[in-house]
Structure formats: C-alpha cells, structure tokens
Structure 1
Amino acid sequence: MLSTFRRLAALAVLVLFFCTFINLKNEEPGETANWLQSIQFVPAWLGTVSGKTWALATLIGLIAATLLFGRVYCSFLCPLGILQDIAIRARKLYNKLLGRKQTGKTVRYTQPVPYVRYAVLLATIAAMTGGSALLLTWLDPYTIAARFAAGYVNPLAANVNNLLLDTPLAAPLALTHMPPDWMRYGLLLIPIAAFILLPLAFAWQRGRLYCNTLCPVGALLGLISRRPLFRLSVDSASCVKCGNCLKACKAHCIDLKTHEIDTGRCINCYNCVTSCDAHGLRPRFTNPFKRRTAPAAKPAAQPQAKPAAAPDMARRAFLGSTILGASAMLSSCKRDDISGASLDPAKTGTNAGHAATPPGSKNLDFFLDRCTGCGLCITACPTHVLQPSYTTHGLKGFMKPYMNFTKGFCNFDCNICGTVCPEGAIAKLPLPDKKKIQIALAEFHRDRCVVQQNRTECGACTEHCPTKALFTVEETFPILHPDKCNGCGKCIRICPQEALSVQTDADGNETAVLDNKKCIACGKCATACRKRQAISLQKLLIPQMDNKLCIGCGACTYACPVRPDRAMTMTPRLVQLEAVQKIEAPAENPVSTEEFPF
C-alpha cells in the first residue's frame, strides 16, 4: 500500500514538474506549478538565504519530515530521483524481457562510503560560503532535472503540439503553432544530456547510487535521517532471509546478517515492504536516543568493541550537522551582505557590466550566487530575451540566464521571471516596482542610424520605447546631388569633420562625395556651395535619449533595423538602479525581421 501510494505521488509530481516547463501559450505558470518548484530542497534553501518566509517554512517542513520519516524528499518529491526510479524499473523490465535474473552484484548489501558523500557535501558548502554556486549547479538534483525539462522536454512538447494542429484535438485544446526552439540551448544540450545521463546510468547499474554518493542533498538528508522517529525495521522473528527485500531495495541498504537497515541511505521507496511475503518489514516508532545493540542471536560473535561503533557514528553525524549549520550561517551572512557594495560604481569607477541580468536580481554577484541555472525563467519568458549563458557570465555563470537583446526584449508589462524563480535569485517585484528597475542603459550610435546614413526617417526605437527615454528632434541634413556638383572644393575646405572628399569618375570629372557617417549636419557645406544646388538641406527627425528615464528593456535594440551592428545597443548594469518615471506606456512588440519593424 505504501509503495503504491509513493509511486502514484511520484508520478503526479513528475508530470506536474514537466508541465511547469512546458509553456506553449507564453502564459505565466499557475500557482500549482510555483508551489511545486518552491518545495524543492535547494530552491527552499537558497530562498531562505534570500530572506523568503515561504522558503524558510518549506525548509523547516522538509527537515521536520526527514526527522520524522526519513528521506521522504528523495522518495517522491525529487524529480531526478523519480527519473532514476524509472531507469531502475526499465532495467528490471529489460532483464525480464531477456530472461535474465538479478546477479549477486545487484542483490546484496553494500557497505556505506560516507567519506565520499560527506566530502561532496562539505565541498559544496565551502564553495557556497566562498561565494560560488558552481558545484551546486552541477550536482543539485533539482537543477539537473530542470535543465533537462527546459532543454529537451519543452521543445519536444512544442513538436507534439504542432503535430496535433491538424487533428480534431486542436480546436478543443485551443492549440496554436509554437516554434520548437531546440537551438535556444544549442551546444549546451550536450552537457545537459551528460548531467542527466550520469545519474540515470548509475541507477541502471546500481540503483540510487548517485543519491548516496555524489548528491549533496542526499548527503545532507542522509545525515538528518540517521535516526528518524518512524523508520523501517526488520522483525528478526518473522524474517526467513529469503532475500526478496534485497532484490527490491534500490539503495542496497538492508543487511540481513544483522537485520539492520541503513536509514541514512534508505530512500523510503517501501518496495521491500511489498516484496516481503513473511511481513517482516514494516515502519515502526523508535526512540532516536536509544543505543543500538547487537542482535541477540549472535552475542558471542560480536567483539566487545563493536557495540560502541554506533554511538561513534552518531557523534560523527552530530559533528557533521554542526559544521553544516555553522557553514550555512557563514554563507547566509556573506550572502545577505551582497547588496551591491562590492560593485559600488563610486568605488569601481564604472557600473557597466558584460551581460544584463533579469530585473529584480539586484546585481551580478547576488544573481550568480543564488541562481542554479534551472532554466525555468528561460522557458517562461514570453519574449525569449532570456537565454542560457555559454561564457557570457564566465564559468561561474555557466548555463545561467542572461538577457540577449538581439533575441528579444524585456516586456514593460511583464514580471514573470521573478514570479517563477524558485531560488530567490530574481525578486518577485510588483509590476509598478519592476517598471522602475534599470537593468541596462541604451546607447545611441548616431553614425549607424539610417537617418544619418541614408537620409531617411525611421523612428523604430522611439516608437517602441515604453518610458519615452527616446524621443526625436528635428535636424537639418545636407543632401549631395552629384549631377550638379562642379568639383570646386569649397565644401571640402569648410567641412569641420572632413566628411567631404573629391572623387574622379571615368571621364575625368571631379565631384564631391559625402560620408554620411562623419557628417554632423552643421550645414556649412550647403552655405559654401557656389551654386547652392549641389548640396541641399533636408529636415529629418533623429533619435535622442534621456538616460535618467531609460530602464534598459532592450525594445529599442530589438526594433532597430540596422544590421549587423545596430544603432541602438545596451550597456548592462552591474548594479541595477532605479530609473526616473515619466510616462508609463506599454511597449509595442517589435517584429523580428530584416525590414523596418512597423
């Protein structure tokens, strides 16, 4: 009964987990999806560090459940653990199909190797205390499964959606075409596959080996669950040592010689309870402070020093918990101090970064220390401005999101990324507050603008600026008419920018040539032209900007028709500032074409 309930609960959690990353209608995930992400252990831990009350309550709840029942999180809440269970089940079906029986290597109790998992745990905590979440990003089970869902499940769901468009299900389900963006992650799909295949390969060969060796969450919960109040135990009187429980155990933690179960490694799958025909395994209430004694059946075979080994393990667990608590406190103190002081523009001399982070991430250090790169904000972003990083954030930010303004723009009326972030790396800002956050600063390159180069009006950037930081002013531009030029050179001599030069054609005629990039529209050349007909003046509107109003949403950059180097570029902010609000107007969605986007 317990095993069946666990399987149904795990299946429901996995389906809901994948549905969170399937965003076919560019809508914000529902409350159920947000709740499912928030109950994951590492997001709850990082959210607690960020000062989130809900995260602290979730973390206390998970630890309390572990103290009461053991590793219930690993049992049916961890998405990577559920995927490993599927791999284990697939291996059994594969062997059954081939008529193979389980060998002695797979049906036995294995001695624990605590030094490996505790070393991984302490290394992860030390790295987090030192301000690096890199090891956690690589080993966290939630993050590994989340990146797999973002990189593979989401595009696959888009393909299935598109195949159903020509079926009768399209109308009732209100399906629309969705581009399967396999290339959003590009070459990053290779490390994503490697990270997911490693634990699945372990599960195929040796059950939940990854959970009890390399997983830092499993190591921590293994420490906490060494003496749960309700634990599985073997009834020595009922046990006939048939070995069925060993065949069913995914963690190889049942020792039939001593009738003991290593609760630090047991992941509470309850398969052993179902497999035992003698009903010798069942959950019982036990006193966590009571010393373990040697089995009564073999009092002489046990040396006098053996019974004292259990208290030593308890003391080591207590010591490990103490070190963990102290390290977490140090990590919390360090992280809470990351408010931008180390990146103060007054001290560093600049506030220009190399990549913009989502609004609400405060500053680059704060964001990289808390984000694990799960990819939930990337799949939820309706404009696809959030893209996974290769080397943009350096090794520390590998596979973490950054804002690519050539792929999209940050919608003025959207705060989905902060809403879905389960780790507190992106603050959940109310929309009015989000609209004031300056994540980058637009920079206008006049020499690239089509108004300057082609002497034609554009206005794409000003049309899509939601804060009206960009506006147009009227300027008078010289227009050269080569057919009327006699090559006298007066305009060339008077030009302060050397924008005019002489060109000789095939017939030997000399005419002036105007370099629009260098021209500053002073009009001196038109005044100096002897005939005043070779150079005329034309009034055009050209963009100008007010830096105080710019929030760095990137709509101007995305809308700019100039290629390959756009006339509007974005300079990311190391520390996000607050812009002055003038006008709140929703940004029009620029169209990604090589022509003008309006």
Structure 2
Amino acid sequence: MRRLRRFYQAFFLALFIVAFALTSQGLLKGYPVTVFLDSSALNAIGTLLSARNMAYTMWIGLLILALTPFLGRFFCGWICPLGTLFHIASRLLRPRKVAERIRQNLRHPAQVCKYLLLIALLLSAGFGFMQVGLFDPIALLTRTATALASPGMRAGWLLIALFTVLLLLNAWRPRFWCRYICPLGALLGTASRLMPGGIVRDKEKCTDCGLCNRDCIGACSPNSCTRMTECFVCWNCIEDCPEKALSWQWMPETGQLDRETGVSRRAFFGATAGGVATAIALRTQAIEGYPERIRPPGALAEPDFLDRCLKCGECMKVCPTGVLRPALAEAGVSGLWTPVMDMERGYCEYNCVLCAQVCPSGAIERLTIAEKTGQPVKTGTAFVDRSRCLPWSFGRNCVVCEEVCPVSPKAIYTDTIHMEIDGKVVALHRPWVDPDRCTGCGLCQHECPVNDLAAIRVTAAGESRAPGGSFFLR
C-alpha cells in the first residue's frame, strides 16, 4: 500500500509541475489549467458562500468532499501536490533516532488550529470577505511556483521566504502545514468524521512499542484510539506494526475510533466572532476608490471580483507581458494579493485574453478577442500629465504614445502648434486622449520615454466593469 500511495503522490505532483510549465508557456488553456484549483473543496465552498454561486468546473472539489466520508482524507494523503512536497521535506529533515520520530508524530493539541482557521475563513466568506485563497494549499503552491518562475514578481521574495519557512518547519513536526494550518485539511477532516470504518487497535496483541507512530503522517494516534479527522489513510501504521495489532475495520464497535476534531465550545465561538468581526471591519474597503487598482480585462465589478478571486496567481502566470502583479496596499486589505496591472512593468496585449481563460473561479469572465476589442472592454483611461509631457512643457517633439496606441482609430491623437524656440519656429505635436476610444491597455504609459514617472498614465477611471460605466471615481 505504501508503494502505491507514493506512486500516486509522485504522479499528481508531476502532473501539477507539467501543467504549470505548459500553462506558463501558453501551451495549455481551459479546464486542464485549473483542474488542481478546482479540486479544492475549500475554494468551491468559499466561493459559494461569498458570491452565492461558483464556476461550474469546481464540481470536482465538491465531489472529493462527498467521497471523503467514505474514503477518508485520501486527497491529503494521496493527491495534494503541496502535501507531497511537505512529505518529501519531512523525510529529508526527519531525525535519525526512531524514538525522536515517534515523539514528533504524537498528536498535539495545536492541531485544532486549522479547524479554527477554517471556521473564521468560511464565516468571513459568508459575510463577503473572501480570503480563502490565501490559505488554500493549491493556491499557495501555485502562487509560490509563479514567484519562483518570475524572479521580478512584486513581493515574490516574500512568498518564497514564507514557503521556505514552511518547508523547514517540517523538521520540527512532519507535514507541519497539513497538521496545524491547512483549512482544506480541516474541511476534509470534518467530513471524515462520518466515515463508517477506520484503523482499529487490538489491545491484546498491542505491546505499546509505539512503532505505529514512527511514520504516521497525520499524527492521528493509532497507538491508542485513532482520530479519524486527522488520519490520512496512508496505512503506514498497519504496515509498521510488528505484532499486526492494527487493522482496518468497517463499522467497528463504539469507542474504538475517535471522531472528534478537538474544537472546544469556547474556541468555536471565538473563531466565529473573529471571522465575523474581521469581515465586517474590512469588507467596507472594497467599495472605496483606488485609482491605481486597475484590474485585468474581463474582471467583474469590484465587490463581485473580491467575492470570487482566489488569489491563486494563475492570471499572473500566463500574462505574456508581465503587466499583472499581486496587489499590496493599492487594493486595500480585502484585495491583498489580487491581480492588478502595473504599466511600469508591462501592458495589456491588445489581442490577448489568456488571463480570462485560466481564471478558475470566474472572477475574470471568459472573453474572446473579438469581445475584448469589439465592445471594447475598458480597464481604465489614460491621462496626459502636461507638466511632464515633452511637447507640452519642454518644447520637444515626441509622438511615442500616439504611435504605439493599438486602438483603431487611435485613442491618442495630436494637435499641432507652432512655437518659437531658440529663435526658430518649431511645430509641436501635443498629445490628447479620446476617453471614449481608450481601453486603458497601458502601452502608451509603458513606452513613454519620460524617466521616473511617465507623462501619460492610466487610472481605473472609466473602466467598463464599474456600475453604469461611470467615468468618474467617487
């Protein structure tokens, strides 16, 4: 059984890596791109609670949740690519002494923390403060892989440092993330309480040697009364027992299995209050105006976008120009790590809709190139800063912004004036922006030759996703 489990773990980890690589190169589109994110029941339920609906592709996560009461936490032990990476790290960092390994795998009271985090996240989502994606294991792995593949990614070093710490913590407790933090594991663990079978100990055969704990992935205490909410159904304990005192039984006698999560009533109400209070306090920021918060084309209206966005980084991964980066302060606390466009780094390619094709939750609507360019979809509007523009303030000709504007007819046009400069009459071509034609792609800002701060800049004003398409910010 151990070899079979390792095969499946290696297979799904390799599948994730291959899918990530192909998607990054633009060779994979549609459902195969999001299949791992869709397999998270946490993402599905969080989106349902926050947006009151979900992408149809997320059914696979609900299917895994439905199978968990019959198969246990098989996703954690056999499929999850992040869990597999932490499993590998745990084996590489584990102590040599068997006694120390047994001690590390004893059940710890702090394992209840993941259930409290789950409660807070789901209640926050129910009140419109969607932060499930920050703690979802598949989204976390996708973000980290994107940061590794994009060295210039904003705050990417922070993700890599966090992931490194999580890897090193496996030296203290094997699969630290899975045991103490992972809210998806807590959700599946809660569902596994209904499992009709489990690992049962024969007290007459057991010699209390503790070897069953040596390689116990979930620290579920098979040496006493197996806690099914923590069991990863790896069956290591059954294989390691020298006395064959452990076995899998369907419908065991009452008291032979522990089906509790360990969450006390006080802890439950504390997590509930924390989740609701956080949602109420921070959700209001979503409706505030942030001029620098320029969303990808096809993004839903801001409240709906925040209700759905998983912060997974898939859109940033496939962006060919690198214009998408994670938001920090410019989108408020509720928008942390959601995608925004940074025209200093890139621009929105006029004939590209890759970000819309890979979004797993529907936060970015599926668009065709014809829909994007025909309507057109506006992500914002460009404004000329006359105090920095070469023709307007410095008497030097420059038509870069007009030349690169991809819209036809162009959204940037010039008028010509004649001025006497250094005793010579010079024809200056001053740029203007037609806000009705501008799509906010940012190519003009990206190519502007003015150093430090471009003389033409895009803000979110006039974005087509705003209610009524209003040009004015509040």
TM tier, smaller: 0.7 to 0.9
Name the CA distance, whole Å, in 2 between partners of 1:315 and 1:107: 19
1:272 partnered with 2:268: no
Residues 12-51 of structure 1 mapped to structure 2, 5 A cutoff:
12-22=11-21, 26-30=25-29, 31-48=31-48, 50=51, 51=53
Aligned counterpart, 2:379: 439
Alpha-carbon distance in 2 for matches of 1:16, 1:414: 26
Which amino acid letter does the alignment assign opposite residue 73 of structure 1? F
Which runs of 5 or more residues in structure 2 are unaligned? Answer: 468-474
Conserved? CA contact 2:38–2:57, under 8 Å: yes
The letter of the residue matching 1:466 is V
Matched, 1:292 2:233: no
Q: Could you tell me whether the CA contact under 8 Å between 1:371 and 1:425 is conserved in 2? A: yes
Cα distance change of structure 1 residues 574 and 36 upon mapping to structure 2, 3 Å threshold: farther
Q: How does 1:243-282 map to 2 (within 5 A)?
A: 243-257=210-224, 260-282=225-247
3-state DSSP class of the match of 1:217?
Answer: helix
Partners of 1:24 and 1:120 in 2: how far apart? Answer: 31
Separation (CA, whole Å) in 1 of partners of 2:91 and 2:130: 33
Cα deviation, residue 85, structure 1: 0.6
Partner of 2:319: 381
Measure, in 2, the Cα distance between the counterparts of 1:574 and 1:40: 36
Which one has the largest radius of gyration? Answer: 1
What is the deviation of 1:219?
Answer: 1.8
Asked if 1:6 is matched to 2:5, the reply is: yes
Distance in 1, Cα, partners of 2:127 & 2:256 = 43
Cα displacement (A) at 1:251: 2.1
Distance 1:479 1:145, change over 3 A: same
Letter of the structure 2 residue corresponding to residue 131 of structure 1: G
Alpha-carbon separation, structure 2, partners of 1:89 and 1:380: 33
Which of residues 91, 111, 114 in structure 2 aligns to 1:117?
A: 114
Query: Which residue in 2 is equivalent to 1:569?
Result: 457
Alignment of 1:91-170 (within 5 A): 91-92=93-94, 95-96=95-96, 100-103=97-100, 106=103, 109-110=106-107, 112=109, 116-134=113-131, 136-152=132-148, 154=149
How much does 1:264 deviate?
A: 0.4
Match of 1:207 among 160, 165, 174: 174
Asked if structure 2 preserves the Cα contact closer than 8 Å seen for 1:84 and 1:208, the reply is: yes
Matched, 1:218 2:181: no
Distance 1:146 1:459, change over 3 A: closer
Contact 1:47 1:424 in 2 (8 A): no
What secondary structure does 1:131 align onto?
coil
**1:489-568 → structure 2 map (5 Å cutoff):** 536=425, 538=427, 541-568=429-456
Matched, 1:80 2:79: no
SS of the residue corresponding to residue 577 of structure 1 reads: coil
Deviation at 1:417, TM superposition (A): 1.3
Please give the per-residue CA displacement for 1:89-108, whole angstroms capped at 9, x wherever unaligned.
1134xx44xxx333376266
Q: 1:107 to 1:570 in 2, by over 3 A?
A: closer
Distance 2:123 2:54 in 1: 22
- Decide whether aligned partners of structure 1 residues 12 and 412 sit closer, same or farther in structure 2, where only a CA change above 3 A counts: same
Give the distance between the partners of 2:442 and 2:46, measured in 1 at CA: 29
* Matched-pair contact (CA < 8 Å) for 1:22–1:379: no
- Does 1:465 find its partner at 2:406? yes
Match of 1:182 in 2: 151
In the alignment, is the contact (CA less than 8 A) between 1:41 and 1:62 conserved in 2? yes
Deviations along 1:311-365, one digit per CA (max 9) or x if unpaired, are: 9x599899x99xx99x99x9xxx9xxx9x9x85xxxx8xx763320112222333
CA contact under 8 A between 1:121 and 1:216: conserved in structure 2? yes
How far residue 39 of structure 1 moved from its aligned partner, in angstroms, is 1.5
The answer as to whether partners of 1:184 and 1:387 remain within 8 angstroms in 2 is yes
1:409-435 CA-to-partner distances (Å, cap 9, x unmatched) read: 111211111222223332222333333
| Partner residue, 1:592 | none
Kindly indicate whether the alpha-carbon contact (under 8 Å) linking 2:197 and 2:249 is maintained by their aligned counterparts in 1. Answer: yes
Instruction: Quickly say closer, same or farther: Cα 1:551–1:109, change in 2 above 3 A.
Output: same
Q: Which moved more, 1:102-111 or 1:215-224?
A: 102-111
8 Å contact from structure 2 (residues 348, 443) kept in 1: yes
2:388 paired residue number = 448
2:471 paired residue number: none
Task: Please tell me the residue identity of whatever aligns with 1:6.
Answer: R
Q: Distance in 2 between matches of 1:24 and 1:479?
A: 55
User: Partner amino acid for 1:370?
Assistant: R
Q: Provide structure 1 residue ranges, at least 5 long, that are not aligned to the other structure.
A: 155-180, 296-309, 483-534, 580-598
Q: Distance in 2 between matches of 1:552 and 1:233?
A: 63
1:284/1:576 Cα in 2 relative to 1: closer, same or farther (>3 Å)? farther
Q: Contact (CA 8 Å) 1:353, 1:574: kept in 2 or not?
A: no
CA contact (8 A) 2:323 2:348 kept: yes
CA contact (8 A) 2:315 2:358 kept: yes
Structure 2 counterparts to residues 578-593 of structure 1, below 5 A: none
CA distance in 2, matches of 1:40, 1:239: 38
Question: Per the alignment, in what secondary structure is the counterpart of residue 248 of structure 1?
Answer: coil
Q: 1:317 to 1:424 in 2, by over 3 A?
A: farther
Q: Which amino acid letter does the alignment assign opposite residue 26 of structure 2?
A: E
Task: State the shift of 1:406 in Å.
Answer: 1.2
Cα 1:45–1:108 change in 2 (3 A) is closer
CA distance in 2, matches of 1:238, 1:377: 55
Give, in whole Å, the separation in 2 of the partners of 1:578 and 1:395.
Answer: 20
Partner SS for 2:371: helix
Tell whether the 8 Å contact from 1:43 to 1:422 is kept in structure 2 after alignment.
no
Alpha-carbon contact 1:461-1:559 (below 8 Å) kept: no
Count of paired positions: 458
Cα pair 2:102 2:214 within 8 Å, conserved: no
Report the counterpart of residue 175 of structure 1 in structure 2. Answer: none
Report which stretch shifted further, 57-66 or 206-215: 206-215
